[in-house]
Structure 1
Amino acid sequence: MAETLIKVDLNQSPYANENIHNRWHPDVPMTCWVNPGDDFILETYDWTGGFIKNDDSADDIRDIDLSIVHFLSGPVGVKGAEPGDLLVVDLLDIGARPESMWGFNGFFSKQNGGGFLTDHFPLAQKSIWDFNGMFTKSRHIPGVEFAGLIHPGLIGCLPDQKMLDLWNEREIDFIATEPNRVPPLANAPFAPTAHMGKLTGPARDKAAAEGARTVPPR
């Protein structure tokens, strides 16, 4: 059986787990190393780090600090890989933890980041979906059941410093064209909620101040 290289405790804050990070930066230390062709298991938090709860209130959707997301497991180093190499990662399986067989979807409040359809759905809303094998249904949307596939979330490579600087310059300039837009055009570095994995001390503080946010696509 494949070895579990990263484990998470869903009752523990992701900030207490040094194998988790929520910023892209070349100085974030590798949590572990694998050989090309290895099979392995990585446990993860959901993208909010467990902030959204399995209950009937959308207050958590309304109140979440969106500067914390996404929480990512890793980084995982690949032995022998060099900058510029093509890295192929096959996701052989993905699923929920046995003790947490549920997921959620929601609309974020227009007063807190908004969403893609925030003008049509300005208020925070949430539905909880319980998993039963390949099927899912929600107590919040009675009469609906379907076969679903779990969103694989984010996977990516740490940028080098040159690429990170380019990202930050481009995105900060883009934000300046419409700084009050909801949802925002991009997300600039934000140190107060940065989790830099195993990085500590002044190096951690420097990386947190310039680390690219893991929420926008690039």
Structure 2
Amino acid sequence: MPEVVFPLDSTKPFTEQELVGHNRWHPDIPAQVHVRPGTSFRVHCREWFDGAIRNDDSADDIRDAPLSRVHALSGPIAVEGARPGDLLVVDILDLGPVPQEDSGPLAGQGWGYTGIFAKQNGGGFLTDRFPDAYKAVWDFRGQTATSRHVPGVSFTGIVHPGLMGTAPSAELLARWNRREGALIATDPERVPPLALPPLAQDAILGNLQGAEFDRVAGEAARTAPPRENGGNQDIKNLTKGTRVFYPVYVDGANLSVGDLHFSQGDGEITFCGAIEMGGFIDLHVDVIRGGMETYGVTENAVFLPGNTDPQYSQWLAFSGTSVTLDGEQRYLDSQLAYQRACLHAIDYLTKFGWTPEQAYVILGAAPIEGRFSGVVDIPNSCATVYLPTAIFDVDVRPSPGGPARVDPGQGVPRSSF
């Protein structure tokens, strides 16, 4: 096992750890760990809400999820000698849930969860169709996930970090705040909001204190969206064996990681759509001098996917086009087309007995494939979503005998009102 450079105690909250990470992006958040290029090491990660979500049958915790506190990131980790303009090479050697023998009832210790966020608290990809909060708890057995809240479904996890990235420069941070602030100004009262501005409330900034803490907290970017530094990309294929090339914007690169997922479908469509968990990740780092200019990677990471994805061979695919539910034609709107493909799949699965919420959760958590299939044939984009048929206990393919219905069981825990 590689040396644990960022240890966490599963019985203690994020802010009471020996090493305190962060939940905002800013170049002045000091590195908590220093490593050399060419070394391998282990990092412990908290579940993204730091234990706020419970293993129970109520979705009140999802409804009230404290978005101002996310994400609980381990880091920054400075790589000695890395400097702006370099590429940071990060190999994902291994990752998994928190060992079950560790004490503390945290997601990752044999279980994880998927949530449909309420429209009033972040929403999701299909928030107008699903405006209320729901939750599904998943149990882990080896590589397999099952849920008492979604009977009749089991699948092999595709374990990956939802969030990993390097620190922004002061210039890049200012650019983020300008462009996202301008977007918010176009509709400042929108629910859910168009973007999340800097927020000092609940900011965690390593060991910064006093006036420096106040300054950084007022400038630091929220970690919710992906940006040029990588960040919350939620790419399910960043699995074991993946090599990622991150742009370096500050001395040391200041790598951070968190938001581990046991599994996820393309798009993480419920917003909390992956199976969220705490756990560990083993990394190896190196540096390509001047790599940003050499390879034209001036913004946004590139990566070589690993080869450990679940090997599903048969799929049932659904298509959608860029026409709204009420019949309005949109011009080559691929986002809308993917929404329609997802809704198509959800409506289909309800014919087998799953509730719409259970079907939505399946698309968020299972390793579905999402694709933009046609983007040039005006006026309609075409998007497709592929469901692996082997994850279902019944045959979900159309047949003359009609759908074999499942017992929906307990259903997805709803929030109380």
- TM > 0.5 fold call: yes
Structure 2: which amino acid aligns with 1:155? Answer: M
User: After alignment, is 179-188 or 79-88 more displaced?
Assistant: 179-188
Rounded to whole Å, the distance in 2 between the matches of 1:130 and 1:111 is 28
* Structure 2 residue 6 is the aligned partner of structure 1 residue 6: yes
The CA RMSD over aligned residues, in Å, is 1.2
Conserved in 2, the CA contact under 8 Å of 1:28 and 1:197? yes
Aligned partner of 1:15: which letter?
T
Q: Is residue 2:92 matched to residue 1:91?
A: yes
The residue aligned with 2:39 is 38
CA distance, structure 1, for counterparts of residue 52 and residue 159 of structure 2: 18
Residues 115-139 of structure 1: CA distance to partner in whole angstroms, max 9, x if unpaired?
A: 1211111110000111111111001
Partner of 1:67: 68
- Offset at 1:202? 0.9
TM-score, normalised via structure 1 length: 0.96
For structure 1, which segment, 192-201 or 176-185, has the greater mean C-alpha deviation from structure 2 after superposition?
Answer: 176-185
| Deviates further, 66-75 or 146-155 | 146-155
Indicate whether 1:210 and 2:211 are aligned. no
- 1 CA distance for matches of 2:9 and 2:185? 39
User: Does the residue aligned with 1:104 lie in a helix, a strand or coil?
Assistant: strand
Q: Does 2:176 correspond to 1:167?
A: yes
1:89-122 deviation per Cα after TM superposition (whole angstroms, max 9, x unaligned) = 1111111011212111110111222112111111
Higher strand share: 2
Whether 2:59 is the aligned partner of 1:50: answer no
1:3 counterpart letter in structure 2: E
% same residue: 54
Q: Distance in 1 between matches of 2:178 and 2:85?
A: 22
Structure 2: gaps spanning 5 or more residues: 101-108, 228-417
Q: Distance in 1 between matches of 2:223 and 2:72?
A: 8
CA contact (8 A) 2:120 2:192 kept: no
Runs of 4+ that moved beyond 3 A: none
Alignment partner of 1:159: what SS?
Answer: coil
State the distance in 1 between where 2:54 and 2:91 align.
Answer: 30
CA distance in structure 2 between the partners assigned to 1:147 and 1:109 by the alignment: 28
Q: Distance in 1 between matches of 2:194 and 2:15?
A: 27
Looking at structure 2, the residues matched to 119 and 50 of structure 1 have their Cα atoms a distance apart, in angstroms, of 28
Kindly indicate whether residue 120 of structure 2 is the aligned counterpart of residue 111 of structure 1: yes
Contact kept? 1:189, 1:210, Cα under 8 Å: yes
Partner of 2:137: 128
In the TM superposition, residue 180 of structure 1 has moved relative to its aligned partner by 2.5
Q: Is the 8 A contact 2:49 2:72 kept in 1?
A: yes
Q: Which moved more, 1:109-118 or 1:134-143?
A: 109-118
Q: Hey, what's the Cα distance between the residues in 2 that align with 1:146 and 1:119?
A: 28
Rg bigger for which structure?
2
- Mean alpha-carbon deviation: is it higher for 7-16 or for 67-76? 7-16
Residue-pair matches, total = 218
Contact 1:116 1:183 in 2 (8 A): no
Letter matched to residue 52 of structure 2: F
Task: After superposing the two structures, state which structure 1 stretch, 7-16 or 60-69, moved more.
Answer: 7-16
